[in-house]
């Protein structure tokens, strides 16, 4: 129970990697603030955590709304008493090259994947500085380290997350606040199913094709990312800040298509 007595806020935890993170922290004794727009899915995650004996609350939020990020941090502290860990997980993805990316899609991507991450980090750090301690884990992507055809807005946004992580880690290392990011590869969630659905054809076959190009020959379960987030947020990572941990089955280790 290494997170007993600690409060963890996970954005985008109504599903996928965020829900897995919420469960992992709750299993370690944390009180978790689950958040996202979809109230039914969010409450189901909260109920599953409570059903397993854990503690969780839900905050309905659209992170694109003006002031929403600051309100979410304030709401978490007001309802749960403190904020020890922030996991910036909420993210969206449009599949398009620059010519096919509308202004609305570009701005939407930046609003969720970049602006919200920055506003949430800033609001959390304000509080953690006074508390004298804190940890933040940002969910970037392998596509924030490398380019990917037809995903210019997403890749640009995740590159920004990596740099927000590095710069804020440097600025607040002396405040006893650690800030790291995780760069997932292919994790089997709704997001990947949606990307593959756009390619057409059989989903199971597309998944097999995707797995074949990964050095470990499989996609990850969301819980495999959650365990890495859990580590970076924990005292086991007490000397780790400003790093980007690839959780990608080996993808980032290779320069080209894996044979």
Ligand X SMILES: NC(=O)c1ccc[n+]([C@@H]2O[C@H](COP(=O)([O-])OP(=O)(O)OC[C@H]3O[C@@H](n4cnc5c(N)ncnc54)[C@H](OP(=O)(O)O)[C@@H]3O)[C@@H](O)[C@H]2O)c1
User: How far apart are CB 51 and ligand X at their closest, in Å?
Assistant: 19
Tokens 């750090």, residue located: 125
Query: Binding to ligand X by residue 139, rule CB under 6 A?
Result: yes
Candidates 90, 123, 196, 229: give the one binding ligand X (CB under 6 A): 90
Helix (H) or strand (E) holding 13: none
Which CB sits closer to ligand X, 169 or 192? Answer: 192
Quick check: 134 binds ligand X (CB under 6 A)? no
- x/- binding map, residues 24-43, to ligand X, per CB under 6 A? ------------xxx--x--
By rule CB under 6 A, what string of x and - marks binding of each residue 99-118 to ligand X?
A: -------------x------
Among 61, 69, 137, 226, binds ligand X (CB under 6 A): 61
Q: Phi, psi at residue 191, to the nearest 5°?
A: -60, -45
Binding ligand X (rule: CB under 6 A), the pick from 76, 89, 109, 165 is: 89
Which stretch in 25-33, 58-66, 126-134, 235-243 sits in contact with ligand X by CB under 6 A? 58-66
Q: What is the spatial distance between Cα 204 and Cα 178, in angstroms, rounded to a whole number?
A: 40
Q: Where are the beta strands (DSSP E) in the chain?
A: 7-10, 31-36, 55-60, 85-88, 134-139, 177-184, 244-247
CB of 97 to ligand X, least distance (A): 18
Whole-number Cα distances in Å, 50 to 58, 107, 231, 243: 12, 37, 22, 33
**163 neighbors 137 (Cβ within 8 angstroms):** no
Q: Calculate the dihedral angle through the C-alpha atoms of 230, 254, 170, 128, rounding to the nearest 10 degrees.
A: -20
CB contact set of 77 (below 8 Å; sequence gap of 6+)? 7, 83, 127
Catalytic residue among 119, 154, 239, 258: 154
Shortest separation between residue 50's beta carbon and ligand X, angstroms: 18
Q: Which is nearer to ligand X, 15 or 101 (by Cβ)?
A: 15
Closest approach, Cβ 154 to ligand X, in A, equals 7
**Catalytic-residue membership of 154:** yes
Segment 168 to 207, residues that bind ligand X, using CB under 6 A: 184, 186-187, 189-192
Confirm or reject binding of residue 16 to ligand X (CB under 6 A).
yes
Q: How far apart are CA 241 and CA 238, in angstroms?
A: 8
Contacts (Cβ under 8 Å, ≥6 apart) of 238: 178
Verify binding: residue 232, ligand X, rule CB under 6 A: no
Determine, following the binding rule CB under 6 A, whether residue 63 of this chain makes contact with ligand X: yes
23 burial class (0-12, 13-18, 19+ CB within 10 angstroms)? buried
Query: Which residues are known to be catalytic?
Result: 154
Q: Which residues bind ligand X (CB under 6 A)?
A: 12-18, 36-38, 41, 61-64, 89-92, 112, 139, 141, 184, 186-187, 189-192
């Amino acid at each position: 129970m290494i997170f007993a007595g600690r409060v963890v806020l996970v954005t985008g935890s109504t599903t996928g990697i965020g829900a897995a993170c919420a469960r992992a922290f709750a299993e370690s004794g944390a009180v978790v603030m689950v958040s996202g727009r979809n109230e039914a899915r969010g409450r189901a995650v909260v109920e599953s955590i409570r059903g397993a004996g854990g503690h969780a609350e839900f905050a309905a939020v659209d992170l694109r709304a003006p002031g929403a990020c600051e309100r979410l941090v304030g709401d978490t502290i007001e309802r749960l008493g403190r904020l020890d860990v922030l996991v910036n997980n909420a993210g969206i993805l449009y599949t398009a090259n620059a010519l096919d990316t509308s202004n609305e899609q570009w701005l939407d991507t930046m609003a969720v994947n970049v602006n919200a991450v920055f506003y949430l980090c800033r609001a959390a750090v304000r509080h953690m500085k006074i508390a004298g301690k804190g940890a933040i884990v940002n969910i970037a992507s392998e596509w924030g380290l490398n380019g990917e055809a037809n995903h210019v807005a997403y890749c640009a946004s995740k590159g920004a997350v990596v740099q927000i992580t590095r710069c804020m880690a440097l600025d607040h290392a002396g405040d006893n606040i650690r800030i790291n990011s995780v760069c997932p590869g292919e994790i089997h969630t709704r997001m990947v199913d949606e990307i593959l659905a756009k390619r057409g054809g059989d989903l199971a076959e597309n998944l097999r094709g995707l797995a074949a190009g990964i050095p470990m020959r499989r996609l990850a379960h969301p819980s495999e990312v959650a365990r890495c987030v859990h580590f970076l947020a924990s005292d086991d990572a007490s000397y780790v800040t400003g790093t980007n941990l690839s959780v990608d089955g080996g993808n980032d280790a290779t320069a080209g298509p894996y044979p």
